[in-house]
Chain A
Amino acid sequence: MKKYRSVIIQWMGLILVILIFGIWSGGNLFSKYNLNSMIITATPLLIACLGMSFIFAHGGMDISSGAVVALASLAAVVTMNGSGSLLLAVIVSMLASMACYMVNSVITNKFGLMATITSLSIMFAARGLVTYICQQTPNESISIASVDVTLFKKNYSFMVLVAVIAILVLTVVFNYTEIGKGAKAIGDNSRSAGQNGVPVDRTKMTCYAIAGLCVGIAAIFKLCSTGMVQSTTGTGMEMDILVVVVLGGMSLSGGVSTKISSAVVGTFTYVFLVKGMTIIGLNPNIVVLIKALIFLMVIYITAQRNTLKTIPR
């Protein structure tokens, strides 16, 4: 009972957000357009957050996702325009994103750098590359040419389907395989995990690869909904992901208390919250401010809780 208390609180929070804004907006929150719009926002965010949970679980941190989305989108759009194949573009996007995350993981683990710092440099490198390439084009952006991307852009059932599959598959991997369990053990005590036979470096690498895969998929959805890549593509995604997971009650310090359901409930809460605030006509700058406040608040609460965790000596 106690174990699930925090989970219940998060879901209750979501329901509360839906109820408050549902009523406040006079039901407008549930209009067809708004629901569809929320599906478009939620799908890539949810998939990225699910993947990132693996990084957070082992005590890692990543702020490069926005820039990686841009880079993966760029790789995808170039592939798409070059080959005319959507499938190939999806694969290229996933590979590009995975490559970024693998580099991140290797640098972090082999050279013992702080994960945040490594991801910061990946962020600058990826963002810089995208900006440079975009500047070489006449429109300072590269658009999807003749490929039909309706599937990723307007097919809402497809989006929900992909999201549901992602939730199911990643939940299983997270909870019922050596990868997820190992990641959590590493997050709690990497020394002990290692001495108990968890392959620490390999598990971390796998986690980053999973995160990369997910961010790559998210990038395709984002690319298709905007139709183009430019230097600003994906900006702010990394912050959105952090807000989502903390809203979902994920402890960013990693370990067994990391629940992948945080990504799910967090995404829904975030999307409903932001949409709700927009509908009731809050100034967009205030919406950003509130996002920041929520982030700060949840981090504070999480930090408070974490100090209770006695660190073994």
Chain B
Amino acid sequence: MDTANVILEAKGLTKRFGEVIALNEVSLQIRTGEIQGLIGENGSGKSTVSSIIYGIHSPSAGEMLLKGKPYAPKSPLDARGHHISMIVQEKDTIDMLSVAENIFLGDEGRFRRGAFISVKEMYQEAEMALRKVGLPQLDAARPVGELDFETRKLIEIAKALYYKPELMIVDETTTALSHDGRMKIYEIMRQLKAEGKAVLFISHDLPELMEVCDSLTVLKDGELVTTIPKEEFSEGTIKRAMVGRTLAGNLYRTDYGNRLTDQVAVSVDHVSTEVLKNISFSLHNGEILGIGGLSGSGMHEIGKVLAGHIPAREGTVKVFGEKLQGIAHALKLKVGYISKDRDVETLILNESIQDNLTISAWSMLKKGKFFILPRDEKKFARVQIDHLKIKCSSGAQLVRELSGGNKQKVSFSKLIGNKSKIMILDSPTRGVDIGVKTTMYELINNLKHQGHAILIISEELPELIGMCDRILVLKNGRITGEVKRHKNLKDVDVIDFMI
């Protein structure tokens, strides 16, 4: 490979956050006069790469070379000193400060004259920087808080350009911008390219990347899949690279007969909330319904609405024909819910397995009108622990001490224990190892056959495709598509509705 014009080379970058491997042995090269794209699903490691280059995180292993010399930035300021700039996804300006102060934040020293900062000089410099991003009319003394989002983004870009970057990282900046704003950024990137600088452009908007980039690096689950040159760009190739995985064995259910009962367990009728917009669907007994989407699509909110945690602002949710009113009512109607934030919302980590199992079954355990006897609780817990083979010393063991898989088993047991008819499972296999996963899927399948109505909300497409009778795809709070269970159903078919 031609290494002459490589500005930054990463070799075997690895980043661990505790047990989680965010980035595994990723090597890539960024060249001058090139706009390189970086794409991947949520959590594929895109942002980790950029934050390592920009000095926000340091890699757990691997090294980087900048123009052939070892490069290990200690902080963003350090990175900036090496002429590397970044524009981030989130708002990165401080509302209270003026435009100029934001541009030179952390670097006010350059205007120091004796003990004072020369404000006049600072404003002059700022106005010059602003002109470069097409904002010559902007008053550098205005507080940033008064400006709209797009202008603030442009100020960040002005700030990035001011330091004459050799490499500029643009991290999912465009998603929130209008067409004009995007065009401005593309223009700036192209200009940098023309000047012989390098750009690393992170986005998950495929058409955008295909239009702007010269090459595209695909990450998946923290690993580098491939780098595709411009000549080979096609939506199909890129998508395949993003999600393409081969699945081992039959982790999921294998039947494909869509045997739905006619009994509607839950019907959602034109429901809107803060996030959701006009959602309608129904869930039948004996059905596994999947909800898919990207994070921020509102998929998790659906679960909370069905469990009575969030009231519908408009529309109604009916459970077995009854209008749902709040958590207590949902529980009474036998709606069980496992939250995505299991450790905070479903389990009580500091309490024992027994206490966790019984809490949602008190009404069943009560003797007379008031009393819940330890003997009954113990028996109840024992049955559930044995049923799902929860690995623990006894029911008295604290849930906090259990592994992720066993914690999730406890969550499931709660629903089984209190005889939930409708089970809303948000990210049911999150943080669970493959062994427990298999058990879960088996269990979900059994519950389906017992006639339970099951709703799986998941960010993992294979899981949805493998388990669900139907998949509803959400985007921006709306249902954008519905996919029926089919032997030949592919991730791509679902992804189409998400992006």
Contact = CB atoms under 8 A, between A and B. Distances in A.
Judge A-B direct contact (beta carbons within 8 Å). Answer: yes
A172 B366 CA distance: 13
Given A176-B372, A189-B350, A257-B350, A195 B355 contact: no
B370 A312 contact: no
Contacts of A257: 350
A256 interface: yes
A197 B350 contact: no
Interface string A1-45: 001000000000000000000000000000000000000000000
Contacts of B193: none
A219 B238 CA distance: 76
Given A189-B344, A256-B352, A312-B344, A196 B414 contact: yes
A215 to B, nearest CB: 23
Contact of A178 (B337, B362, B374): B362
B396 A3 contact: yes
Nearest to A178: B362
B309 interface: yes
Contact of B371 (A177, A188, A191, A193): A177
B350 A256 contact: yes
A309 interface: yes
A40 to B, nearest CB: 33
A194 interface: yes
B400 A310 contact: yes
A110 interface: no
A185 B351 contact: yes
B362 A181 contact: yes
Nearest to B418: A197
Given A185-B355, A189-B348, A196 B360 contact: yes
Q: Output the residue of A185, A189, A192, A195 with the most chain B CB within 10 A.
A: A195
Contact of B348 (A3, A178, A188): A188
Contacts of A199: 328
A189 B349 contact: yes
B331 interface: yes
Nearest to B396: A3
Nearest to A254: B350
Q: Output the residue of A178, A197, A309 with the most chain B CB within 10 A.
A: A197
A195 B362 contact: no
Interface residues of A, number: 27
A238 B466 CA distance: 60
Contact of A192 (B307, B345, B400): B345
Contacts of B370: 176-178
Given A256-B352, A310-B400, A194 B327 contact: yes
Contacts of A255: 350-351
Contacts of B346: 192, 195-196
B344 A313 contact: yes
Contact of A196 (B343, B350, B359): B359
Contacts of B414: 196
Contacts of A196: 346, 359-360, 414
Contacts of A309: 350
Given A3-B396, A195-B345, A255-B350, A185 B359 contact: yes
Contacts of B331: 197
Contact of B349 (A3, A177, A184, A310): A310
A191 B350 contact: no
A191 B307 CA distance: 14
Given A177-B370, A189-B348, A196-B414, A312 B328 contact: no
B339 interface: yes
Interface in A246-291: 255-257
B467 interface: no
Contacts of B337: 195
A72 interface: no
B140 interface: no
Contacts of B39: none
B397 to A, nearest CB: 10
Contacts of A176: 370-374
Nearest to A186: B348
B358 to A, nearest CB: 8
A49 interface: no
Interface in A115-152: none
Interface in B327-379: 327-328, 331, 337, 339, 343-352, 355, 359-360, 362, 366, 370-374
B359 A191 contact: no
B359 to A, nearest CB: 5
A191 B351 contact: no
A217 interface: no
A198 B414 CA distance: 14
A181 B359 contact: yes
Nearest to B367: A176
Nearest to B362: A178
A303 to B, nearest CB: 16
B396 A191 contact: no
A197 B327 contact: yes
Nearest to A313: B344
A197 B360 contact: yes
A194 B331 CA distance: 11
Interface in A210-262: 255-257
B348 A192 contact: yes
B410 to A, nearest CB: 12
Given A193-B359, A195-B307, A195-B309, A185 B348 contact: yes
B122 to A, nearest CB: 40
Nearest to B373: A176
Contacts of B355: 181, 185, 256
A172 B371 contact: yes
A142 B328 CA distance: 48
A185 B348 CA distance: 7
Interface in B412-433: 414
B343 A188 contact: no
Given A197-B327, A309-B350, A191 B372 contact: no
A207 to B, nearest CB: 15
Contacts of B347: 189, 192
Contacts of A177: 370-372
Contact of A198 (B349, B359, B373): B359
Given A191-B344, A256-B352, 7 more contacts: A3-B396, A172-B371, A178-B362, A185-B351, A185-B355, A192-B344, A310-B349
Closest 7 CB pairs of A and B: A197-B331, A312-B343, A196-B360, A189-B348, A188-B350, A256-B351, A188-B348
Interface of A: 3, 172, 175-178, 181, 184-185, 188-189, 191-199, 255-257, 309-310, 312-313
21 contacts: A172-B371, A175-B374, A176-B372, A176-B373, A176-B374, A177-B371, A185-B355, A185-B359, A189-B348, A191-B344, A192-B345, A193-B348, A193-B359, A197-B328, A197-B359, A197-B362, A255-B350, A256-B355, A309-B350, A312-B349, A313-B343
